[in-house]
Each structure stands twice: as C-alpha cells, then as structure tokens.
A and B are shown apart, each in its own frame.
Chain A
Amino acid sequence: MGNTIFDMLWRDHQVRALSDGSSLIYIDRVFLHERTGGIALKSLTDAGRAVRRPSSVFCTIDHIVDTFPGRGDDTRMPGGSAFITTTREMAQKAGINFFDIGDPRQGIVHVVSPEQGIALPGLTLVCPDSHTCTLGGLGAFAWGIGSTDGEHALATSTLRINRPKSMQIWLDGTLREGVGAKDIILALIGKYTAAGGSGYMLEFAGPAAQALPVEARLTLCNMAVEFSAFTGLIAPDDTVFEYVAGRPFAPKGAVFDAALSYWRTLQSAPDAHFDKRLELDVSQLSPQVTWGTSPAHVAGIDQPIPDPSQLAVDASTQTSLEKALNYMDLQPGSSVEGLPIGGAFIGSCTNSRLSDLRRAAAILKGRKVAEGVNAICVPGSSQVKAAAEAEGLHHVFQDAGFSWRESGCSMCFYAGGESFGHRQRVITSTNRNFESRQGPETRSHLASPETVAASAICGAITDPRKLTRGVVTRDAA
C-alpha cells in the first residue's frame, strides 16, 4: 500500500518518535503577528530563552493595526498600540524577519506567506493563528497553534504532536458559474457539521479540487479549521509550482530545481490508506450563505433556513440551532435571500486576494452600493492593494461606494474599536459568523466575495448570478 502526502510529510519531518507515542516534528518556518506573536516572543525572552533560528521566523502586523489611510501605531482598539510596539520591539531584538506597518510586504499573515514564497509545498509552517491551515493550498503542512506552542517552536524548531488521523475529501464535479471555493467549503461544513473534521488531517482531492487556481485553494484550505480539522492540504501540482517560482523567499535556480523534484513526489498513491473518506459533488452547488452563528449553519442561497424542531439532531445541537436563530433574528423556514443588510465586508485571510477583488469588482463595476449599507473592502496585503490599484480596481470599489482600506484583518473580528454597529446584519467574505464577531451582537452572514458585492448593491442578501445574468438591474443611477 502506498503513502498519502501526509504520510510523506510526517516521515520527512519526524525528528524522533517519543516514548509516550507522540512525535517530535521539525518546524521549517514560524510566522507571527502582533495579536499572539508578541506575547510568545515576550514570554520566551522572560523565560531566558532565545529564538533558535531567527532566519526561519517571520512576523507581520495585521490583527490590530487600523486599516484607515495614514494609519500608524495608534489604533481605534483601546490599548491596541501596545501590541504593535511590543511586537516590533521583540521582533527586532530577536532578529527575525519583520514586515512592519508601511513595509510593502506587510499584510494578513496567510496572504503574505504564499505571496512572499515563505510558505512552500512540503514545508512545515506554524503560526499562533488558527487559519494557518490556509497554506495547505500550496501543499504545505501548516497548522495553527497557541502562544505556548509558538514559544516551543521558536526555541526548539520543533513541536511535540500526536499524529492526527487522515481523511480524504473527494471533490467531484464541475462548479457552476458564480460558485467557488468559499461555497465548496461552506457546503462541506454544512453537510458534515463544524466538528466533522475533528482529529483529522484533511487532503482535498478529486477533479474539483485540482481544477481550482492557487488562490481558490488557499480559500478552501483556510476553513479546514472551521471543520475542526487539525489542518488540510491539496496535492501540489504545476499550478502551484508556477505560482511559487520567483517569489522573494522561494528557492532560486538549481536549488529551486532540487525543491521541485521533491515537490513532485508529494502525491498520495492511488491505493494509499485514509482513515476516513468523505465525498462532495460540487456540480449542483449554489452560492452558500450562512444563516446562524456557526459556519455549519449554512444553506444554498435558494434554500430555506432549516427548522430545528424538524431535524433529527441531539438536544445540545437543537439548543444551539434555536439560540442561533434567535440571535440572528430569523425564523425557521424563511430565506436569507432578500434579508436587508447594514454592512458588507470584503477582506480577511479567506477572501481578500487579487482574484477575490477582481471577481467582486466585476459585479460592482458601473453600479452603486445601496443606501444605508456600510461597505468596506480591505485588501489582504499591501501587495494585493498595490496590484489591485495598478488595475484600477480601487476606482471600481470607490465609485461603487465601498471604503478602500490599507491591508489587515480589520473587521473580520471586533477588538473593541471599529465595528459594524449594534445588531447590524452584515454580509461578509470572512470565515467566522460567531456571536459578536464583527461588532456588538452583529449578525454576520458568511459568503463569497461575489455574493457580498451583489448584496451590497441590492442592500439585501442577493444571489450574485442574478446580477451577472442581468435578472436584477439596479445599475448606477
């Protein structure tokens, strides 16, 4: 029986097996940010320890920093500047690679990491941030950790971990127009619950996975953690190798060729054993929109919100569904399509890359955001922002009525500063619709950037295909 990619990555990073059944796994790269990284560096220093390999450690400022033009260390989040200044001071003392505010390489950690060639196929990469699984889209073995494990990785270049089980998720079929990676992963979580991947390392495979461009693969893997998986990845192929080549921290010349010959081996054998296998046919998917307070509370935009009392679920699940409907102020059996919104957000490590902005802009072009909708676009990195501006996309967003920001995590979460406002209903290209995630008691509906753009135009949750097909013609006045 052949190996899975995960078998190979585990084998090639295992420093040694430990007597208690866990393994010491070598960590090739560590990425930090000011929210949880500064505290890891500070705690490490306080304990009298040092960063073992500073050249393999990277840090950016993304979580707390403001995204308004002209920003500095001061933040709308009360006390936020201390996170920035502490992280900067600690990063400089430790001698690690640091992408500060104003550096053209600054941006959301999981957008910067592929963009700069820091995440590569076959590397282990950890970050004290749960969405580190994003990088599995390149074929990296990457996962989110806590700050204490962050210290461990910094001090020892390793982590002690128990081997997760393996799961293949076979994505079959061809996506319909207007449906993308965000819709696939939401549908998967909706079908198999938010705990469906618990204890597993996921490999997304099958024709629909391999057909995705790199940025869409990053979106797909980004939400492996919302499936409660250890992490996820997709077998790297020529699409990935072409993407990686020439990036600032990627290997060059003969070294690249050496890497490439290794990367090409990272394919699961046809007879490889997976502990579990799930399938999803993506052919019939509609744009997905969440209606509740977990990414699993999701349905196609043309489907009704389920009635908890009619579902065969356990009592804890039923309680959660009822609480979610109550929080979101929705009725069972009603539709999310047509719900009036007060906010629209395009950004986050899920959907803020150039291709995301292009697809949203194609819908926004020549149209205006509906009155009363606070629409915001936050490019995922300073580089994405510059590339988008070079194409004139900022004009499309701004002419439509979107606020166009500096890069950062921004309103993917509410840290006490800027928010969408009390109980506002928000359509968002982010990854978490948890209670109060985007402001005090805000009601967040997760969706693709296209769905966010279409909804912003119409002032209500809207199927983007209706705008691209001209069914709704709320054109620029």
Chain B
Amino acid sequence: MKPFTQHRGIAAPILRINVDTDAIIPSREMKTVSKAGLADGLFAGWRYLTQGSRDINPDFVLNQDPYNSATILLSGENFGCGSSREHAVWALAEYGIRAVIAPTFGAIFYNNCIKNGLLPIELPDETIRSLAKTVEQDPRQEQLAIDLNACAVTTSDGTTHSFTIAPTHQEMLLEGLDSIDMTLKMLPDIEAFEATDDRAVWARPAC
C-alpha cells in the first residue's frame, strides 16, 4: 500500500452533508471485477451532464480549473455514508485524491480509506468552512499542507489545524502496512483463542 506521510495540494470544496458512496461511484460505474479503471466513474452523477455520458458538467467543482487538479476534498458531515463498496475509495485514490477532510465519515468508508492509503481527516464543520473560504480565494496559491506525523493541516499563511486519528490508523498509513501480513504473524494467538473458546462447540462446528 502507498504510504501517506506528507502531502501538499489543491483542495476542492464539496460542502454538503451525507455525500454517500453511491454518489462517489454509482453502481452502474462498477463495471468489472477489478479494483482499477474506476476513476472515470468518480462522482459520475455530478461530474457528467447525463447518465452514461461523459459530457462534462461545468458546474461541478472537479470540472473547474484549477480544482480539476485537486488532490484533497473538503466536505460536510458523514462523508462516505451508505454502501460498503470499497470502489468508492479505489475510485478516489485512482483519480488522485490523497485526503478527504470532513467532520465525520461513514464507518466502513473510513476503514476502507485506511486500507488504501487515502487519509480521512476529521475536523469541525466550521474549520472546514474557513479552510474552504481560504482556498477559494486562490485555489492554486492557497494549497493545503497535510502532515500525518504531526497530525496537522496547514494553510499557506501558516495557520495550523490539528486533527486526531487512531494510532493504529496513523501507523498503517505512515508505513503503508498490509494488515493481513501483520495479522498472519499472530496465528498462534488466533489458534490459542480457538482452542480455549467455550463457544467453539456451537459457534464453530466441525464440517
């Protein structure tokens, strides 16, 4: 997995609440049994004028210069709610988004981000609105700098906003760790658990 340590880039505001994973990648855009080839379908319902077409909707922020080079999203509460489809994260990452800043996230989406090197940052809504105001003055100049070691988002004038992230998630992103490899090293613990679990007789019948 691609590690995340520091990143500086253009932030695009999508300031509405409950941006669901159907909006991030509609089901009709998940066309093959693959984690790749999804960027084109990112936000398809908003990005293109008609369904199934690729006619650019000029009103959508990611179609506007310089937001079309955005690598950070600013959004409202409950970003990534809804369907568990990891395709939402795969699409964002393939498109080039490295971090999403929102007050809260859908729980499954949040975990999917961590597994794919995409940094979900939780900040209060008013902070995000003020960041958006700053960015909108000159998106190319007013880029946001993110430092995952320091857990900080910094604007071009040096104003810093600290965020919190669980140590486990921070470490996985910083190191680009594969959690399956890490857990497979704990197989003796798992086997010991199974051997002593009183529930085993009914919870794990031999088949």
Contacts and interface: CB of A to CB of B under 8 A. Distances in A.
Contacts of A122: 199, 203
Of A16, A320, A432, the most chain B CB neighbours within 10 A belong to: A320
A129 B84 contact: yes
B89 interface: yes
B104 A228 contact: yes
Contact of B51 (A123, A129, A259, A436): A436
B118 to A, nearest CB: 12
Given A195-B81, A255-B205, A434 B22 contact: yes
A333 B180 CA distance: 52
B202 A148 contact: no
Interface in B71-128: 76-78, 81-86, 89, 104-108, 111-112, 115-116, 125
Contact of A149 (B15, B78, B111): B111
B169 to A, nearest CB: 8
Interface stretch (A38-46, A371-379, A458-466): A38-46
B51 A440 contact: yes
Nearest to A155: B180
Interface in B32-63: 32-35, 45, 50-52
Contacts of B129: 315-316
B23 interface: yes
Contacts of A267: none
A196 to B, nearest CB: 10
Contacts of B76: 316-317, 319-320
A314 B180 contact: no
A156 B32 contact: no
B84 A144 contact: yes
Contact of A26 (B83, B85, B197): B197
B45 to A, nearest CB: 5
A155 B185 CA distance: 12
A18 B199 contact: no
Nearest to A79: B31
Contacts of B112: 146, 148-149
Contacts of A226: 81-82
Interface residues of B, number: 67
Of B18, B81, B104, B112, the most chain A CB neighbours within 10 A belong to: B18
Interface stretch (A176-184, A299-307, A392-400, A412-420): A412-420
A323 interface: yes
B166 A162 contact: yes
Interface residues of A, number: 84
A83 B86 contact: no
A145 B84 contact: yes
A148 B85 CA distance: 10
A315 B17 CA distance: 10
A296 B116 CA distance: 29
Contacts of A255: 201-202, 205
Contacts of B34: 39
Given A83-B33, A145-B108, A259-B202, A156 B22 contact: no
A56 B199 CA distance: 14
Interface stretch (B136-144, B148-156, B186-194): B186-194
B18 A294 contact: yes
Given A130-B82, A151-B180, A259-B202, A230 B107 contact: yes
A225 to B, nearest CB: 8
A218 B34 CA distance: 32
B2 interface: no
29 contacts: A16-B193, A20-B167, A21-B167, A22-B166, A24-B183, A26-B193, A78-B31, A82-B32, A83-B33, A120-B203, A122-B199, A130-B82, A146-B85, A155-B180, A155-B184, A157-B194, A158-B186, A195-B78, A258-B202, A316-B77, A319-B76, A320-B17, A320-B18, A320-B76, A413-B83, A414-B28, A416-B27, A434-B23, A441-B51
Interface of B: 15-18, 20, 22-23, 26-28, 30-35, 45, 50-52, 76-78, 81-86, 89, 104-108, 111-112, 115-116, 125, 129, 166-169, 171, 179-180, 182-184, 186-187, 189-190, 193-194, 197-199, 201-207
Given A155-B180, A156-B183, A198-B78, 9 more contacts: A12-B197, A39-B34, A83-B33, A86-B33, A145-B111, A226-B81, A319-B16, A414-B27, A435-B45
